[in-house]
Amino acid sequence: MRPISIAIDGPSGAGKSTLARSMAAKLGFLYVDTGAIYRTIGYFAHERGVDPKDEQAVAALLPQVHVELTYGEDGLQHMLLNGRDVTREIRLPEISLCASAVSAHPSVRAFLLEMQRELARSHSVIMDGRDIGTVVLPEADVKVFLTASAEVRARRRMLELEQRGTPEPFEKILREIEERDWNDSHRAAAPLRQAEDAVLLDTSALDFRQSEDALLRIIRERTGL
């Protein structure tokens, strides 16, 4: 059977990864978190002391980068950077802005494009990111643009950081979310935007279960699964 692709795009903190992971488990699909791939490049630039906004300097690093995506015994996606597992490190708050900065560079996007497409050719996937429905998988069977207000996203992120034992003040989180939204949607290369044929799902007023139900309904309607 031909692999099925489900593209989920939206701003940071909209719940894409948690929802997509849960859908993938229900449907038996591979979950691909493409943000983690950009974070891995951002982390590499940070580690090498390279300004993530400097496209030439970042592009010069790419030949030294080998990024691999593996699935651990825990069933979760792990990121390998030159063979080293950096899954935890790429989640540090300072890496979020580095990831956003490197992701604006066309050379970085071109470097990562084929890797993402190959995953969708070989597996049924739920892939989340910013440009999956618009650029990476324009022929995806289902496209969803998942969003929520910046305040709701900041509150969710604050809870997540508290649970992880690395709390941050609400105002700081909100400011960073707004900054990333702006960067991600105003860059020239593959900016964050809703594909014309994507279904808009706003989860501002929905809890996790309600969001799951809404997403599953959209997927079932469009794929007959």
**Which residues lie near ligand DC (CB under 6 A)?**
12, 34-36, 38-39, 99-100, 103, 129-132, 180, 184
For the bound state, the minimum distance from the C-beta of residue 217 to ligand DC, rounded and expressed in Å, comes to 24
For the bound state, the minimum distance from the C-beta of residue 121 to ligand DC, rounded and expressed in Å, comes to 17
Which two three-digit tokens encode residue 54?
């400097």
Quickly list H helices, 28-149: 34-47, 55-61, 93-102, 106-122
Which two three-digit tokens encode residue 199?
């279904």
- State which residue, 191 or 225, has the beta carbon closest to ligand DC: 191
Q: Which residues contact 66 (CB under 8 A, 6 or more apart)?
A: 80, 81, 82, 83
For the bound state, the minimum distance from the C-beta of residue 103 to ligand DC, rounded and expressed in Å, comes to 3
The Cα–Cα gap between 142 and 8 comes to 8
User: DSSP letters of 16-39?
Assistant: HHHHHHHHHHHHTPEEEEHHHHHH
- State which residue, 31 or 38, has the beta carbon closest to ligand DC: 38
Which two three-digit tokens encode residue 80?
């390998």
- State which residue, 17 or 124, has the beta carbon closest to ligand DC: 17
For the bound state, the minimum distance from the C-beta of residue 122 to ligand DC, rounded and expressed in Å, comes to 19
Q: What is the 3-state composition of the chain as percent helix, strand, coil, each rounded to the nearest 5?
A: 50, 15, 30
- State which residue, 103 or 211, has the beta carbon closest to ligand DC: 103
For the bound state, the minimum distance from the C-beta of residue 1 to ligand DC, rounded and expressed in Å, comes to 26
- State which residue, 117 or 225, has the beta carbon closest to ligand DC: 117
CB of 89 closer than 8 Å to CB of 95? yes
